A and B are shown apart, each in its own frame.
Chain A
């Protein structure tokens, strides 16, 4: 084994060890007080809303695109209606989530595959709708960081962590324990919507969405 290979293994081991520690820390969070539970939902709008975001999408290799994302949401019905537009205002994609079902209303190439529609709407759900049900655990760290953890019926996990001062992070793990999405949210919050969002997708295909809130209304 060369010295360089040894160094790589050491760094890799350190990363795996630190990830393992992070997960153990989250598992150790016990049920928090009922008062803290409301903070698990603070990063999502409470009532109906509509928004326009500037989106910069970057895929592997560095190719990027800027688009406008328009979304209207109804958290009580878990309903969403989303559009992707070119800067000129041409609609590339339009879909809605209603009664738990995703329906594509308009899609032009290269946005016309069913896999794209499901993937995009799952991202929109992750960004704007609170995970379903009550968190399995929640709590508060000594530094004021709130942590809430949801476990899905399919063994997926969603963790929301942060504070209004330092910003928030959403982490989604699949049933294999692999992180599939990581979202950072930063204020100011307008009508319950974060002004700055960054979504990193790792699986099945890596990409990054950087979103800036342009318009928001209740």
Chain B
């Protein structure tokens, strides 16, 4: 009995502190996310495929506006851009010196992905219709997204690794069934920059 009391006396406060600390961390992170109105960043995407020894590397940049606009642009190895302004989504690729409309728009699938990206950059993980989330403090802190029924055929798990700077995402790791995965590392992240609205309208 003494042992149990000792255990409770020592362990319970530790657990309580940990829980409180976690809560404070998560609260401050969400508070930081709420202050984000716009983001500009570059990214390096590493696509690991089971049939490739080396990952497929892509580089690009993105512009995000919390009011509902996003420009997700690949610069290498092929140049293409996905533009979202409100409900409108457009895709273009750059070929023979000019931007051309993309034949395979797949707008519905991309709309779903873009909705998720919007939620991530604003810390609104609980609003996802297709993922449940768990916050894990640690080094680095991360949000683990687990797909619900249906989407788990395509994605096994997503980890969003947060920067030491609250509200900033450092890296996103997407795991698929069959040992394929994608890692997106963000660099030169600028929070709340201003940019012209036409970058979400024209390639």
Contacts and interface: CB of A to CB of B under 8 A. Distances in A.
Contact of A66 (B78, B106, B180): B78
A54 B58 CA distance: 11
Contact of A90 (B100, B103, B109): B109
B93 A68 contact: no
B69 interface: no
Q: How large is the interface on A (under 10, 10 to 19, 20 to 34, 35 or more residues)?
A: 20 to 34
B157 interface: no
Interface string B42-73: 00010101011110101000000000000010
Interface string A117-148: 00000000000000000000000000000000
B100 to A, nearest CB: 6
Contacts of B109: 90
Interface string B87-118: 00000010100001111101001000100000
B103 A68 contact: no
Contacts of B180: 91
Contacts of B101: 63
Nearest to A71: B51
A195 B106 CA distance: 29
Contact of A215 (B54, B82, B95, B182): B54
Contact of B103 (A63, A81, A85, A87): A63
A110 B51 contact: no
Given A52-B77, A70-B56, A83 B103 contact: no
Interface in A68-98: 68, 70, 72, 81, 83, 85-92
Contacts of B78: 54, 66, 68, 87
A64 interface: yes
B125 interface: no
Contact of B102 (A52, A66, A72, A214): A66
Q: How large is the interface on B (under 10, 10 to 19, 20 to 34, 35 or more residues)?
A: 20 to 34
Nearest to B101: A63
Contacts of B113: 88
Given A63-B103, A64-B93, A65-B93, A87 B80 contact: yes
B182 A65 contact: no
Given A52-B77, A59-B103, A87-B74, A64 B49 contact: no
Contacts, number: 71
Given A50-B53, A52-B77, A89 B58 contact: yes
B100 A64 contact: yes
A56 interface: yes
Given A63-B103, A65-B103, A66-B78, A87 B58 contact: yes
Given A66-B78, A68-B78, A50 B104 contact: no
A83 B102 CA distance: 19
Contacts of A16: none
Given A52-B56, A64-B100, A68-B56, A86 B51 contact: no
Contact of A89 (B45, B51, B93, B103): B45
B93 A66 contact: yes
B95 A64 contact: yes
Interface in A41-63: 50, 52, 54, 56-57, 59, 63
Interface of A: 50, 52, 54, 56-57, 59, 63-68, 70, 72, 81, 83, 85-92, 110, 214-215, 217
Given A56-B95, A66-B95, A83-B51, 4 more contacts: A50-B53, A64-B102, A66-B80, A87-B74
Q: 5 shortest A-B CB distances, which residue pairs?
A: A65-B103, A66-B93, A89-B47, A214-B77, A63-B103
29 contacts: A50-B52, A52-B52, A52-B77, A56-B93, A56-B95, A63-B101, A63-B103, A64-B100, A65-B103, A66-B80, A66-B102, A67-B104, A68-B77, A70-B49, A72-B51, A81-B51, A83-B49, A83-B51, A85-B47, A85-B56, A86-B104, A86-B106, A87-B58, A87-B78, A87-B80, A89-B47, A90-B109, A92-B104, A215-B52
